[in-house]
Amino acid sequence: MSLRLGDTAPDFEQDSSLGTIKFHQWAGDSWVVLFSHPADFTPVCTTELGLTAKLKPEFDKRNVKAIALSVDPAELHKTWIKDIEETQKTVVGFPIIADADKKVAALYDMIHPEQSATATVRSLFVIDPKKKIRLSITYPMSTGRNFDEVLRVLDALQLSDAYTVATPGNWRDGDDVIIPLSVQDPELIKQKYPKGYTAERAYLRLTPQPNK
């Protein structure tokens, strides 16, 4: 099953390091970062899970829950978590799905046979409170993810939802944003973007970030 942006994130019930997870119920009204790992006790994954644990305050500010996945069983996850906490100097407070039967991996198309017939690639999904997939990124097994980019995209998505804006390339929180082409009515522009805007071209209108 290949998931596309805007699709509803498949629901599932599966064991985890923190007990049984009913995904949609667990997610509640939060944003979710769901990310998979090839296996427990692997070096790149260990660093990624440590980074995610350390980002909890940033995720909390954005109403985001993190949840990881590996095809190993829950008891192995719990042992691995001890290693992660000791080597990465943090506390893993989020669940790791124990996808031993690969049910969730199949739902989210996380196994790529040309990479591995049994292990998940480094897939990452950002899912909004309506359970819609808003971002998907797939990394090769050898490459660790950039979690600063995940935070940047979360900021951009939440800003776009709240204020009807788009974000330019390399945008960071506080930079100018773009007025979408779907907004053309002059009165609506004055209402939505009271700080005004500059136009390099008729189709390229930059306005200060509305909530700054």
Please list the active-site residues: 45
Query: Which residues are bridge partners to 201 per DSSP?
Result: 204
C-alpha 186/C-alpha 175 separation (Å) is 23
C-alpha 147/C-alpha 66 separation (Å) is 12
Query: Which residues are bridge partners to 177 per DSSP?
Result: 207
- At a CB cut-off of 8 Å and minimum separation 6, what does 144 contact? 44, 47, 48, 122
54: helix, coil or strand? helix
- Contact indicator for 211, 163 with CB cutoff of 8 Å: yes
